[in-house]
Amino acid sequence: MVNTKVTLCGLPLDNPLIPASGTFGYGQEFAQLFDINLLGTFSFKGTTAQPRFGNPTPRIAETPGGMLNSVGLQNPGVDAVLTHELPELAKIFHKPVMANVCGSTVEEYALVAEKLAPCPQIGWLEVNISCPNVHSGGLAFGTSPEIAAQVTRAVKAVAGDKPVIMKLSPNVTDITAIARACAEAGADGLSLINTLMGMRLDLKRRRPILANTTGGLSGGAVFPIALRMVWQVYEAVRLPIIGMGGVSSARDVIEMMLAGATAVGIGAANLTNPYICKEIREDLPQVMDELGISSLEEIIGGAHHG
């Protein structure tokens, strides 16, 4: 009998599978297809202080081996999440859920985190520092070590006993510099990678396909990049990592964990196959048997040790 359990920032998970924020909503649609309690947990939609309609359409474009999205953090706002979404989620999901915190200023991050932290349903605060910083001309918070550290400190100050996991942008020269800055500022864990910037053109219109011109690239094409960054961050800091980016199979999960991930996010694959997390969960014990793995927790970072 294999053991799929892991511990993420002090909280136990039945398995390392975590549907990524923005690809699983608040769980309601997926709960109509399978029992979502078979997951380790999931990260719900990125949440801001006020409701956001998001970017104009078109917001999605296909690419070879993946997709581009420019949804623009569409969400009902933190108050609606607390009064409606989380009570509804409690009816179908009986484990701690991960809250994805977003903002356009350091103060907004802190406000959203302060409101979410006391909620007993929430196990972790995942802080998305790929958001554009309005005080820096739209530059993402996660592209500057100093600003990433500011957000980390601000959220930690209001998080209470909730672990703070900083979600890193891959659109940087050295992701380890951002990881170290977050670690030194008190982060409890790191989540990586978020999407890579990309674009597609409509050849007939001779214009960008996305109304926002550029979008975030996700899907199988980014897996080797994500794996490389998880490897580098594991070498750079001693914090638990949620590895994500192009994961679509049990073997991908194990590869991410060998590179250094404690838990593994599944993102774009949910949008092409809504049963993918269930299928990976069912395949995982068999693949572990094939590879001679008795416990997933024992393989975390295993590829670094020969």
- 3-class DSSP state of 214: coil
Q: Is the pLDDT of residue 3 over 80?
A: yes
* Identity at 57, one-letter amino acid code: T
CB of 158 closer than 8 Å to CB of 117:
yes
| 81: confidence class by pLDDT, cuts 50, 70, 90 | very high
Structural domains present in the chain: 6-305 (3.20.20.70)
| 180: confidence class by pLDDT, cuts 50, 70, 90 | very high
- Please tell me the pTM assigned to this model: 0.97
- 3-class DSSP state of 194: coil
CB of 4 closer than 8 Å to CB of 300:
no
Instruction: Please state, in angstroms and rounded to a whole number, the distance separating the CA atoms of residues 76 and 93.
Output: 20
The pLDDT of residue 130: 87
Average pLDDT of the chain, as a whole number: 96
Instruction: Please state, in angstroms and rounded to a whole number, the distance separating the CA atoms of residues 264 and 257.
Output: 7
The pLDDT of residue 136: 67
| 305: confidence class by pLDDT, cuts 50, 70, 90 | confident
Instruction: Please state, in angstroms and rounded to a whole number, the distance separating the CA atoms of residues 193 and 170.
Output: 6
Per annotation, catalytic residue among 9, 102, 131, 277: 131
CB of 256 closer than 8 Å to CB of 246:
no
Concerning whether 131 is annotated as a catalytic residue, the answer is yes
